[in-house]
Amino acid sequence: MAVMWMAVISLVLFWLPLLGPLLAGFVGGRTAGTPGRGFMAAILPAIVLSVMLLAIGTALTGLPVIGAIASISLFLVIFVQAIPLIIGAVVGGATA
């Protein structure tokens, strides 16, 4: 449930570059209940999305190297966006 809260609030507050993911992480972390579960709820979707992007990039190009390069660059974007989400999730989990 925490992952769903983080996803919905992140999509609604996409126009707030730092505050949106931070607030989404805080709400999701409070829903998760503990800092560890909040961290996992924040990082697990990023990992799953990165693996899916690797598979799709490899399938579309037919070359694993090009798929890996594309997925690594998108992983960096996802990771930079996930930093405030993770911070908010850990703080929210600690305050739950």
- pLDDT tens digits, 5-28: 888 888 898 888 889 999 999 999
Q: What is the pLDDT of residue 80?
A: 87
Residue ranges of the domains in the chain?
2-95
- The confidence band for 45, taking pLDDT boundaries of 50, 70 and 90, is confident
Mean pLDDT of 21-46: 92
Q: What is the largest CA-CA distance in the chain?
A: 47
Number of neighbours of residue 62 by Cβ within 10 angstroms: 8
46 burial class (0-12, 13-18, 19+ CB within 10 angstroms)?
Answer: middle
Which is higher by pLDDT, 69 or 95? 95
